[in-house]
Amino acid sequence: MPHPAESLLVRALHGERGTRPPVWFMRQAGRSLPEYRELRVGTRMLDACLTPDLAAEITLQPVRRHGVDAAVFFSDIVIPLRLAGVAVEIEPGRGPVFADPVRTAADVARLTAIDPAEVAANAEPVREAVRLVAAELAPAGTPVIGFAGAPFTLAAYLVEGGPSKEHLRARAMMHADPAAWHALAGWLAEVSRTFLTAQTDAGASAVQLFDSWAGSLSVADYREYVAPHSRAALDGAVVPAIHFGVGTAHLLPDMTLSTPTPDAAGAAPGVSGRVGPGGVVSCVGVDWRTPLDAAAGILGPDVTLQGNIDPALLQAPWPVLEAHVRDVVARGRAARAHILNLGHGVPPETDPTVLTRIVGFVKELGE
């Protein structure tokens, strides 16, 4: 029987290049699939995430439909906060909204008084859902990818009270009250680590840390206020880790979460961006803005790359999209290994047959 550890995806995360790149899609589970929309009728988003059989079925739907090389666990980055007892809801068309934003040192103290162990204590629905998925996929050796939000992105939601474009309050807190910021981000790192551990203990073969809003940060702020906490979120991970952010071309050398070499520390990104030893991630996700061969030149030979089909081109005529996918695959050969994905999540209006066609096309390339 095949084993997930021998899958194309896990081998790529360890730097092994196969006859073709493994392929999966961020947000492949959910909103673009009619079977998902039918299944979700009458169930709120966060409730669906915490109903084991429902979350498992949603996770499996795109594997059955598209034939992707991995299942990404269906959940939401705010689920560990819900498990910790934080009042949060997903507002349709808006996103996560918090009843009590965290904006002062007193707010931070109130929140961080919650023991992150509460997440583990309440995470049995998550573990059960992952177990169900892993058992279903075991005969094919298809891996499950667990995930969590990175501390900065979670903090941005908490401080703003919901989604925002520039995360001004979160970025202001870093400088206005560094002690409160580090207390908040440190607590969130523990929360994310606990959530990832619940998934890997239940059978996830890899994890991805999403730092969706890290692109709003300067290199200096990222290094001082964010990277140590993202590193802590992945500390002790027993499976390979992918690190992804949007608009992070200027942060690529730091996305490995290693300590930059002396010549890279003061250099402009892309001038001397090689990273030193000690990186805790196996793979860096690249959004659609940066060609993969350029990213490989910045990151060097010890990092697998993931990405980076432009989600907008999912709406293009097939010849245009096919040429784009060919180009992404070709540029990905510059890295030690490449996992084909989008440069961000699947847009909700995507025709799912297009995703299936991409998977089939990539598999043909391997033949």
Q: Catalytic positions, please?
A: 27, 31, 40, 76, 157
Q: Decide if 1 contacts 141 (C-beta within 8 A).
A: yes
Helices (H), the chain: 8-13, 34-40, 45-49, 52-66, 79-83, 105-112, 117-121, 124-137, 151-160, 168-176, 178-201, 219-221, 227-233, 252-255, 262-265, 292-299, 318-332, 352-366
Neighbours of 182 (CB within 10 A): 16
Measured distance CA(166)–CA(164) in Å, rounded: 6
Q: Are strands 88-91 and 95-98 parallel, antiparallel or unpaired?
A: antiparallel
| Residue 334 · residue 16 · CB < 8 Å | no
Whether 199 and 132 have beta carbons less than 8 Å apart is answered as no
CB 138 within 8 Å of CB 71: no
Torsion of CA 25, 292, 222, 204, to 10 degrees: 30
Q: Which residues contact 33 (CB under 8 A, 6 or more apart)?
A: 61, 62, 65, 352
Helices assigned H by DSSP within 15-88: 34-40, 45-49, 52-66, 79-83
CB 153 within 8 A of CB 15: no
CA distance 127 to 123: 6
Pairing relationship of beta strands 71-72 and 144-149 according to DSSP bridges: parallel
Could you give the angle at the alpha carbon of 65 between the alpha carbons of 48 and 75, nearest 5°?
25
3-state secondary structure of 140: helix
Nearest to 252 by CA among 203, 187, 220, 296: 296
